[in-house]
Amino acid sequence: MSERFDLIVLGAGSGGLSVAQRGAKLGARVAMFDADALGGTCVNRGCVPKKAMWYAAQMADMHRLAIDIGFETTPMQLDWARFRDLRNRYIAGIRERYAIRLDTAGIRVITDAARLISADTVVTAQGMQVSAPHIVIATGARPRRLDIPGFELGMLSDDVFTLDACPRHIAIVGGGYVAVEFACMLHGLGCSVDLLVREHVLAGFDRELVDALVSQMQTRGIRIVRDTWIKAAHGNPGAITLETIGGIEHGVYDAVLWAVGRVPNSGGIGLERLGVACDQEGRVRVDAFQNTNVPGIYAIGDVTDRRALTPVAVAAGRALATRLVGGHADAKFDDSAIPSVVFADPPLGTVGLTEDQARARHGDAVSVYSGRYTPLLMMVAGHSEQSVVKLVCVGDERKVVGIHVLGPGSDELLQGFAIALQKGLYWRDLKEAIAIHPTAAEELLLLH
């Protein structure tokens, strides 16, 4: 006999928590399954520990800058183990607060993985069986592993957060968000970094800003090697070399980080048997309402073919619960302008279309305003690295369709501009606005 609920959620990460909590708030009886820690990737091995590490790296940078502007001090070493423990304590606190909130909301949390045995029933490894008219797949994704000799000598992004000490010399394989962020953070914390990129650095981002970021990373001392296809890793843990298909050897490294993308957790949970459609990468196909092709089964977050970002998973979960439980048949989230920041050094923020995307879509109707400046503090310190701001506009009225920012402060300044872009922003609005001076944000108002 199955116990019956109104809503079953597989996965207690960003997406799963949001759909479960909104569903319960709207009156549904909710069962949520996860064998792992509450909070999923973002809280335990993604955004949260990453951002803490990014802050530490920024502090190390500011410390070096402090010397340049006249502070009498010598660069400090980070007590890596102490910092890791503080970070873990903070994360444990988040998990505790989730547990209390879920309990208060009356959500039944089952600490076990589950799989579907029909369109309305799931079963756990322990044999527990529950049913509901709505089942949400929110099982996320995991780091991709390559089928090459010696792969096990390297680590995955999850492993970086468990290290006892900062590596001395690391090779990071990949060119996406994770590769670039870890390259900058580890370098900031004193590690010598080789970034080995197969194709592009940050594909899909505005090229002008990516080129500027790459050049700043190189100036700081990160070695970036493109067109590098790794075919094997050799050696022992702590002394690893990497071999490319062209026979070139890189290393010796004391650590290797494989940052070659993520694969969805869609296998082995009964989706194939029920005919739930996935793309070639195994990501569950969903429509704008998070419906899969099988009625009663929905998917949200990184397991789907949508953008793999926490706020996207959260927005999808809330909208889905509002529709299924709240009775708002047309509830969906607006994904037309999703802002995102790569926590590099300096951070790179983006919302809307890149220049290339806008030109491909709108041709000659595109106008671009871009500018470079050296931030005030850098000027005082005698540094010359330049921040970049860029607006991509369309039509005679110059509607803003893309905003791209690189430089200190980009991470915090983008949110407000992103809301404006989503609601409808024109170049003249920026011209008419009163700036806050002196800030990085005002540079977007000064473009002409």
Ligand X SMILES: Cc1cc2nc3c(=O)[nH]c(=O)nc-3n(C[C@H](O)[C@H](O)[C@H](O)COP(=O)(O)OP(=O)(O)OC[C@H]3O[C@@H](n4cnc5c(N)ncnc54)[C@H](O)[C@@H]3O)c2cc1C
Ligand Y SMILES: NC(=O)c1ccc[n+]([C@@H]2O[C@H](COP(=O)([O-])OP(=O)(O)OC[C@H]3O[C@@H](n4cnc5c(N)ncnc54)[C@H](O)[C@@H]3O)[C@@H](O)[C@H]2O)c1
Number of residues engaging ligand Y in binding (CB under 6 A): 22
**Which amino acid makes up residue 164?**
D
User: Judged by CB, which is closer to ligand Y: 356, or 442?
Assistant: 356
The HSE-up count of residue 68 (CA atoms within 13 Å, CB side) is 14
Q: Write the CA distances from 301 to 63, 77, 265, 336, integer angstroms.
A: 38, 38, 11, 16
> Should residue 308 be labelled a site residue for ligand X when binding is judged by CB under 6 A?
yes
437 is catalytic: yes
In angstroms, what is the minimal distance from the CB of 275 to ligand Y?
27
28 binds ligand Y (CB under 6 A): no
Tokens for 429?
């609005």
Choose, by CB under 6 A, the member of 31, 170, 259, 276 that binds ligand Y.
259
DSSP state of 39: T
* Helix 47-68 × helix 177-188 angle, to 10°: 40
Residue 40 binds which of ligand X, ligand Y, none (CB < 5-8 A, kind-dependent) = ligand X
139 interacts with, out of ligand X, ligand Y, none, CB within 5 to 8 A per kind: ligand X
Which residues lie below 8 Å from residue 71, measured CB to CB, with a gap of 6+? none
Q: Are 201 and 175 in contact (CB under 8 A)?
A: yes
> Which residues face 90 on adjacent strands?
none
Tell me what percent of the chain is helix, strand and coil, each rounded to the nearest 5: 35, 25, 40
Question: Which one of residues 5, 33, 205, 258 is an interface residue with ligand X (CB under 6 A)?
Answer: 33
When asked if residue 182 is in the footprint of ligand Y (CB under 6 A), the reply is: no
Residue 275: CB minimum distance to ligand X, A: 18
- Considering the rule CB under 6 A, would residue 340 count as an interface residue with ligand Y? yes
Site for ligand X contains 265 (CB under 6 A) = yes
52 scored as a contact of ligand Y (CB under 6 A): no
Footprint (CB under 6 A) of ligand Y, residues 308-327: 308-309
The C-alpha angle 280, 282, 288, rounded to 5 degrees, equals 95
Rounded Cα distance, 41 and 47, in Å? 8
Q: Is 332 in contact with 312 (CB distance < 8 Å)?
A: no
Stretch that binds ligand Y, among 10-18, 174-182, 355-363, 369-377 (CB under 6 A): 174-182
Q: Is 403 in the site for ligand X (CB under 6 A)?
A: no
Q: Say if residues 241 and 233 touch (Cβ distance below 8 Å).
A: yes
- Binding status of residue 179 toward ligand Y by CB under 6 A: yes
Residue of minimal Cβ distance to ligand Y: 176
Using the rule CB under 6 A, which residue among 87, 250, 262, 283 binds ligand Y?
262
Give the whole-angstrom CA distance, residue 249 versus residue 242: 6
Considering only residues 42, 135, 217, 418, which one is a binding residue for ligand X as defined by CB under 6 A?
A: 42
292, 276 contact by CB (below 8 A): yes
List 23, 140, 176, 402, residue binding ligand X (CB under 6 A): 140
Q: Out of 7, 78, 178, 256, point to the residue binding ligand X (CB under 6 A).
A: 178
Region binding ligand X by CB under 6 A among candidate stretches 99-107, 205-213, 248-256, 302-310: 302-310
Applying CB under 6 A, does 10 fall inside the site for ligand X? Answer: yes
Element (H, E) at 243: strand 239-244
> Prior bond to 346 cis, omega within 30?
yes
Helix/strand/coil for 105? coil
**Interface positions with ligand Y (CB under 6 A):** 146, 173-179, 181, 198-199, 259-262, 307-309, 340-343
Residues classed as catalytic = 437
**Interface positions with ligand X (CB under 6 A):** 10-16, 33-34, 36, 40-42, 46-47, 50, 113-115, 138-141, 157, 178, 265, 269, 301-302, 308-311, 313
